[in-house]
């Protein structure tokens, strides 16, 4: 038997041993918990059940032997914690056993020469955050049927990779200035009312401006648009709407003020992608623009500004963010 097949069979054997051992340990722990519970008042007919009789037949002698080592008695005339202690010992043993099996499996996997399809799949899948079980890889090393299954999964991963086209998106980052200071000394219900009104205003603006994806944070939000014009419209509507919002809120020591940052570029993003899970420099720049912006202003780079159709109201911010020249818009 060549080394590839031997390692594969060994990996499968370790998987089977772990599965059987885990099942046996969980059954034993469950049995101990039942024996502990049977010490309390319960219907007499429960003791006549076949399962309960078997538990007593197998479990009582083992517990009695353990109890004798400590000068205890089992069954006890009082409520005994011995079954609980035994269960905790078995649980600890399971943790040690699982760690040992994980170490052994890792050592074997390092020595397991994967089929060519598995090597390609591992590279493609890792770029998509998709994992392939070690069991499937082991089977693929010794089984033609498993190898076909692996090839099919490889084809699905490759198809998804081909679909991962970069889309031009605009990202708008908005955050409340001194949010914690605003909340200081204000009753919690008034804080909740004020920030709910603020978030409702933003949600209405995002719906009106065709936001594609929205990711909320504690006092901020990142929004993705498929058109930079919609992103600019949203930022301007938010900044212009602050006056009306603040006029209806008198519970805070200072009014709502926000910083806005906008950036546009191509990112790999799917229809079902959660925005908070998407990582890209384009999004980072939008966040950095927001963090550096003056209160109640929108910052964007000169590159994004040059692509805008509506450029009125902007002026140089006399600042650079991530090496980019910044322009500012205020309501």
**What pLDDT is attached to residue 170?**
98
Residue 144 has pLDDT above 80, yes or no: no
| Whether residue 200 sits in one domain with residue 174 | yes
Same domain, 264 and 297: yes
- Give the domain CATH number at 249: 3.30.70.1230
∠ CA 149-153-158 to the nearest 5 degrees?
Answer: 145
Question: According to the model, what pLDDT value does residue 270 have?
Answer: 81
- Portion of the chain with pLDDT greater than 70, in percent: 81
Regarding whether 106 and 81 lie in a shared domain, the answer is yes
**Average pLDDT of 32-58?**
90
pLDDT of residue 105: 78
Which pTM was predicted? 0.54
Q: Pick the more confident residue, 140 or 61.
A: 61
Bigger pLDDT: 143 or 263? 263
pLDDT at 286: 98
Q: Are residues 179 and 295 in the same domain?
A: yes
Per-residue confidence band for 130, with pLDDT thresholds at 50, 70 and 90: very low
Q: Are strands 297-301 and 314-321 parallel, antiparallel or unpaired?
A: unpaired
Residues 103 and 318: their CA atoms lie apart, in Å, by 57
Q: How far apart are CA 272 and CA 8, in angstroms?
A: 36
Do residue 52 and residue 157 come from a single domain? yes
Residue 89, CA atoms < 13 Å, CB-side half-sphere: 10
Judged against a pLDDT cut of 80, whether residue 143 lies above it is answered with: no
Per the structure, how many domains does the chain have? 2
Domain that holds residue 221: 166-330
150/214 Cα distance (integer angstroms): 36
Residue 149 clears pLDDT 70, i.e. is over it: no
CA separation for the pair 7, 138 (Å, rounded): 8
Of 100, 127, 161, the domain-final residue: 161
How far apart are the C-alpha atoms of 279 and 290, rounded to whole Å?
Answer: 17
Range picked from 36-50, 80-94, 266-280, 283-297 for highest mean pLDDT:
283-297
Same domain membership, residue 199 and residue 280:
yes
- State the pLDDT at residue 106: 75
- How far apart are the C-alpha atoms of 192 and 196, rounded to whole Å? 6
pLDDT tens digits for range 194-239: 999 999 999 999 999 999 999 999 889 999 999 999 999 999 999 9
Task: Check residue 129 and give its pLDDT.
Answer: 47
């Amino acid at each position: 038997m060549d080394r590839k097949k031997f390692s594969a069979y060994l990996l499968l054997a370790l998987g089977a041993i772990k599965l059987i051992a885990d099942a046996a340990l969980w059954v034993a722990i469950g049995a101990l918990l039942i024996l502990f519970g049977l010490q309390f008042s319960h219907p007499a007919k429960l003791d006549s059940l076949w399962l309960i009789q078997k538990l007593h037949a197998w479990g009582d002698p083992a517990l009695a032997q353990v109890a004798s080592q400590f000068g205890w008695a089992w069954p006890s005339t009082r409520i005994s914690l011995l079954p609980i202690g035994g269960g905790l010992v078995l649980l600890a043993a399971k943790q040690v056993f699982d760690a040992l099996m994980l170490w052994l499996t890792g050592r074997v996997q390092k020595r397991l020469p994967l089929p060519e399809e598995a090597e390609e799949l591992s590279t493609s899948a890792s770029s998509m955050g998709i994992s392939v079980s070690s069991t499937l890889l082991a089977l693929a090393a010794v089984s033609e049927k498993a190898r076909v299954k692996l090839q099919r999964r490889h084809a699905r991963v490759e198809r998804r990779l081909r679909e991962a086209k970069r889309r031009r998106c605009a990202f708008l980052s908005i955050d409340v200035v001194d949010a914690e200071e605003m909340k200081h000394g204000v009753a919690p219900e008034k804080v909740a009312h004020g920030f709910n009104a603020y978030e409702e205003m933003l949600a209405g603006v995002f719906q009106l401006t065709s936001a594609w994806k929205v990711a909320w944070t504690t006092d901020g939000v990142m929004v993705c648009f498929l058109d930079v014009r919609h992103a600019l419209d949203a930022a301007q509507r938010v900044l212009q709407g602050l006056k009306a919002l603040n006029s209806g809120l008198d519970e805070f020591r200072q009014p709502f003020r926000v910083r806005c940052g906008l950036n546009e570029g191509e990112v790999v993003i799917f229809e079902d992608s959660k925005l908070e899970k998407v990582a890209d420099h384009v999004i980072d720049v939008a966040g950095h623009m927001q963090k550096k912006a003056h209160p109640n202003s929108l910052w964007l780079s000169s590159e994004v500004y040059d692509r805008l159709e509506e450029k009125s109201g902007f002026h140089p911010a006399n600042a650079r963010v991530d090496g980019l020249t910044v322009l500012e818009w205020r309501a």
